A and B are shown apart, each in its own frame.
Chain A
């Protein structure tokens, strides 16, 4: 994150979901996070659900700042812990709609254990992961989705990243999520639709949005400005709805398979809890 912040003028219909008194937001010019924030507001708007019953939770990071811009009950937890916080809220009040928005580092590194266990429990919430391949907030270090040999502050040239990334779609699908999709920040319409589906779904929905962090990751890997990075995302996107999740490859330079890969029915955690309580009371 840099100090340069762009004045964002919001289109009218969505302004009612956003805390305008917090504008301008902290994102750098060309960053994808603002786009994802827009997707979420549009999804809420299309669904026409009571926004006061929607709770937005995030962890720490640039992506983690998202929760603070929504005009509803929002909570900014510690790094990696958005999912457990949201789980506690959901179990305590199953009538609420829980939205978790966080980064790749937050959800797959420090909070990775919570992600897979929440998928396994299949608790009803929608997890939107903004994957920008690095820790943007702290200035661009490698993380669990950074590709092999890519350069970051802690995997500098000439060696680059000696590790290999998680494929988050595969991770969420094999952990038990009942709805799994991946889009890039440029497929706004399709991504928004998937977020709508995720919110409607009774169970854990995981939606990865591949995005651009021009300030850190883009600069270090010479990927150009925000515009260039988004253009690139458009070029390499390969839409394959319904593909088995284990085939949903992500190769940043060549091919990012996008689409909805999992949409299955499984008993949802708070539903099962309710049924069990009814059993005990009998």
Chain B
């Protein structure tokens, strides 16, 4: 399809992004504020001979998505906090079996049922630490309707490339607001697909990595026979209690992401060249911060912003660099402080100031401006 422009909702842009990325399987369970993704998929999937499947719960949804991926179809699910919590065990399964899947979490107010129709950014640490064990995932944080599309495409590409679950973490405002969306010409989109094995079936080792630490992935129902399990396994895929294999596997699952951190993480720099005070933000609060930076500049304060489009793996290097360039860092988040702790870890000894707001309304531009002025006066 040639390029087209719509005026549409973030959730719908995400669904369109998935379809443009080649997603042809959606397994889900309705939940506010992600329901519009499911509803859009229910209309669009049949037009593209894909499947919209509504499951009995989120556990079934994500597990079926893992199944569809092993059958060779790009697949995703979309949910919000309560559903994301239910999905966590399966996130670990996808990590351990190195399954490319995309999980969209349109974050709402928590804990528990919280505020279904109001946004928050309370699930950022959950995305990284929610399942048990040591592992890496990738999480992208869009701040506009266009990015809901663009970063969903990117989420699929990264998941295919690194054989890892990728989260799209958007707050409710980004999910529900409408803006202009340009859907690029199909041919202009760069799409990535997983590596397939080239070896003879008899020689295929399903979990033997290439130099990039990512093993080629055979599909179910092909001439390749293999066993994939959530148990610790060797290169043949066979379970083992061995310390060495466990250490080697866990290290590789982490390293295959961390070694490519520069390629994976994306940040946007805004008025940072001469900045003395920097905001680090993502999602809707970053939009407030943009305004606050402009207003602060108008008052002669050298403020700037580093906007995170990737929160996991955490962009350590850009934060460390920023910390050495500025005098203060301010982190406004729609939560009690999550990314803040990561920023602090890599910014030391530069002081990092947290602005919490575990509520549907993010920090307003004026609130951030006031904080900038307060910090400036120090």
Contacts and interface: CB of A to CB of B under 8 A. Distances in A.
Q: Do chains A and B touch in the complex (CB under 8 A)?
A: yes
Interface of A: 19, 21-22, 52-53, 55, 57, 67-68, 71-78, 80-81, 83-93, 95-96, 113-114, 117, 273, 276-277, 280-281
Given A52-B222, A85-B67, A273-B51, A114 B60 contact: yes
14 contacts: A52-B222, A73-B221, A75-B220, A78-B89, A80-B59, A81-B59, A81-B63, A84-B64, A88-B27, A88-B67, A88-B69, A88-B71, A92-B24, A92-B69
B238 interface: yes
B270 interface: no
B239 A68 contact: yes
Given A68-B229, A74-B227, A81-B90, A93 B60 contact: no
A53 B221 contact: yes
A273 B97 CA distance: 28
A86 B97 CA distance: 15
A149 B47 CA distance: 55
Contact of A78 (B72, B230, B238): B230
A178 B252 CA distance: 45
Contacts of B238: 22, 68
Given A76-B227, A76-B230, 18 more contacts: A52-B225, A68-B239, A73-B222, A74-B227, A77-B93, A84-B27, A88-B67, A88-B68, A91-B51, A92-B25, A92-B51, A92-B67, A92-B72, A93-B73, A93-B221, A96-B71, A113-B60, A114-B60
Contacts of B56: 113-114, 117
Given A52-B225, A67-B227, A75-B228, A88 B220 contact: no
Nearest to A52: B223
State the majority secondary structure of interface residues on A. Answer: helix
B46 A85 contact: no
Contacts of A21: 236
Contacts, number: 137
B193 to A, nearest CB: 15
Contact of B60 (A76, A91, A117, A276): A117
Interface in B55-101: 55-57, 59-61, 63-73, 75, 89-90, 92-93, 97
Given A89-B71, A91-B53, A93-B71, A77 B64 contact: no
Nearest to A116: B56
A74 B236 CA distance: 12
B53 A87 contact: yes
A91 B52 CA distance: 10
Interface string B169-210: 000000000000000000000000000000000000000000
Nearest to B62: A84
B224 interface: yes
A71 B225 contact: yes
A84 B227 contact: no
